[in-house]
Homo-oligomer: A and B are copies of this chain.
Amino acid sequence: MISGILLLKYGATIENADASEIIISEKKRADFYFQIKIGEVKMFNLNEQGKEFVQGIFYDGESFGEPPLLGDFKYPASAVAVKPTELYKLSKTKLFELLVDNPEVNLKFTKALAKRLYYKATILKEISVHPPEHRILALIDFLKNKYGTEELFQVELTRQQIADLTGQRVETVIRAVKQLEQEGELKLIKRKVFR
C-alpha cells in the first residue's frame, strides 16, 4: 500500500468501477498500477467451461496486478470489481519514478510481493497435496493471519468464494465445511462469518 497523497503527487487518477466491472483483462499488457481506495476487487481465471479460479481478493488499501508491471509480461488473470470501487491508477513509468524516489516505499512494495508469493506457494501446496478440508483450513489460517486479531477473526466469504479460492466445487466445500464444524475445527458465527 502506497499512500494516496504520494500517488496523487505522481499524477495518479482516481477511477470508479461499478460492481462487476472488469478492470484488468487477462493476456493484456500491463500499463498501470492499481490500488484500491475503497471497495473490493478479485483477480480470477475462467476456463472455457466457465470454471473459475480466484487468484486473490483485494480490499481497501491493497494493490493488485503489479507483477506484470515489473516483469513485462501479460496479465495471467483478469480483475473485476466485486463491489463499487474507487481506485488509484498510476502509469507504469510514474510508478517507477515513485519507487526510485522513495526507497522505503520500494521496500514495502517488494514485501507485498513476497507475501503474495507466500500465499500462492501455500495454495499451490494445498491444492496439489492436500484434501478439501485441509485446503479450507489453510485458506482460513492465511486470512486470519492477514486480517484477523488474536481474539476475533471474521471474514465474509461465501462457500462459493472459498471454492473458487481453493480450486473446488461449491458442493464439495459445503460438505467439507459441515464436517469441519462437526469436528470442531471450524466455527460459523453467522452466515458467511468464520471465527
Chain A residues packing against B (C-beta within 8 Å)? 45-47, 51-53, 55, 66-71, 73, 76-77, 100, 103, 106-107, 109-111, 113-118, 120-125, 127-130, 167
Contact = CB atoms under 8 A, between A and B. Distances in A.
Main secondary structure of the interface of A (DSSP, over half): helix
Contacts of A46: 129
Nearest to A117: B67
A125 B55 contact: yes
A124 B103 CA distance: 31
Contacts of A124: 53, 55, 120, 123-124, 127, 167
B51 A129 contact: yes
A76 B110 contact: no
A30 to B, nearest CB: 10
